[in-house]
Structure 1
C-alpha cells in the first residue's frame, strides 16, 4: 500500500510512503490501514469508527476514487499497489484526516431538521405518514455524510463556496417530508447552491448508499424556477 503522509506546518508537501500489507481475501482497505497502524507504523493518522458502512468516517481516495475504505477490498486491486490519499477538496489535518468544519457549517445552514410552525417544545403530537409520503424523501434520508460526493464533485473542488451535493440532498429530504413546514428557498436558490451545479453526476456515482444528490439538485432547480413564476408555491 502507498499512503499519503503529510503534517501541515512540518512537511512542505505530501509524500507517499510504501508499506507491505498481507493480501488477505477478506481484508478491506481499512483492515490494511489498521494493520499498518498496529504492526508497522503507529504514527499513521486516519479516521474510522463502525467498519460497517454506517458512520461514513472512513472515506478516502483509493487509487484516485472516493471510496469507503471499510467497504473496499484489497482483493479488488490484485497485487497492488493500492494508493490511499485524503479526500480531495478538503484541508488536510494530518495524513489521511481532513478538516470537515466547512461541510458541517454548510450542513447546518440548510436547517436539516423538521421545522414545525406554531408549536412549542416538547412536541407531543404524532404525525402519521402514508407509504407514498415516506417514499417521497426516503432515499435522501439514507445519506451518511461520508463526503465522498464532495470529493467527487468537480464544482466543489474548484469552488469551496459551493453548498455541495450532500447538504442540498438533505435539504430536499426535509423539503419533501410531509411533516415539515420550513422554507429553505433562501439557502438553496443561490449561485453557490443549486445553480452552481453543472450536473456532471459524479456525486451520485460516488455515493455508497445509492442516494441521488444530482437528482435532488435538479428537482430543486425546477422548484426554484416555478417559484419565480408562481411565488406563492413553496414546494
Structure 2
C-alpha cells in the first residue's frame, strides 16, 4: 500500500512566523555608580531585543549576563515576595520583578518609544549602581519593636484571635520591607532620621493586635520628633507600595491612637 506524502516546501510562511518576530528593541538607561571608579554617577544605555511581556528584572539579568557583568543590583525570589529588587523605574518606585516592559514604554514599529530609566531608590546611600545601604531603614524597623510582646507564662496553646480582631491590622501584615514606601517619602529624603512609612506600618501591625501588650510603648516611640508627626500626608507611600497597603491610612490611625489612646 502506498503512503501519501504531503509536500510542505511551498507552504506560505504566514502561519510560521520567525521565532523572534514578537521581540521589540528597547533601550534601558541605567544610572551607574561605582565608588572605586568615580565619585559621580552617570547614565549608561543598554539596548536589548526583548519580549514586551518580560519583566524589568529579566532585562537586568540579560544586561548583566550578556553585556556588562559589573552591573550590580539586588534580587532574590523574583516573585514580588522578598522585596529586595525595589528601584526607581521611569521615576517611580517599583519592584523590578513585577514591572512588565510593555506597561512602562510605548511600543511603536517594533521599538520602545523612549528609553526605560532605571536608578536606585532615593533617600538611602547608594553603594553601587542600584544597590543602596539598607541599614538605616532596617534600624528604624527594629526600633519600633516589630514583634509580639506579652507577659506571663508561655501559653500551652496558641493565642487565639477572632477574625474581627485579625482584620483590624490585616492590611499592614502585607509589608515585605522593600523600602519602596519609605524611599518615596519627601520627608525621608530630607531627613534620614525620620522613622519613615514602613517602620510606622510595622508598628501599626502590632499596636492594633489584640494579643500584644506593648502598644503604649510603641506609641511613645513614634511620638518622638522623628516619629509619626513628621508625616505630611502626601500619599507617595501609598502610591509606591507594591502590595497595595493603604500606608497613609495606617499612619493616620497611629496618629489618632496617640491622641485618643484608644487602639
Whether contact under 8 Å (1:59, 1:69) holds in the other structure is: yes
Aligned-partner Cα distance in 2 for 1:163–1:125: 35
Q: Structure 2: which 5+ runs fail to align?
A: 1-27, 107-111
Please name the residue that 1:161 is paired with.
193
**Inter-partner Cα distance in structure 2 for 1:172 and 1:201:** 17
Contact 1:2 1:83 in 2 (8 A): yes
Are residue 207 (structure 1) and residue 234 (structure 2) matched?
A: no
> Structure 1 residue 117: deviation in Å?
1.4
Count of aligned pairs: 227
Question: Which runs of structure 1 show a deviation greater than 4 angstroms over 4 or more consecutive aligned residues?
Answer: none
Give the corresponding residue for 1:73.
100
C-alpha RMSD of matched pairs (Å): 1.2
1:198 aligns with 2:225: no
The reply to whether residue 108 of structure 1 matches residue 142 of structure 2 is yes
Distance 2:98 2:66 in 1: 22
Q: 2:206 aligns with which of 174, 189, 194?
A: 174
Alignment of 1:85-234 (within 5 A): 85-120=119-154, 123-183=155-215, 184-227=218-261
- Give 1 or 2 for the bigger CA radius of gyration: 2
Unaligned 5+ segments in structure 1 are 228-232
Q: How far is 1:73 from its partner?
A: 1.0
Equivalent position of 1:60 in the other structure? 87
How far apart are the structure 2 equivalents of 1:85 and 1:124? Answer: 50
1:9 Cα offset (Å) = 4.6
> Partners in 1 of 2:41 and 2:200 — Cα distance?
32
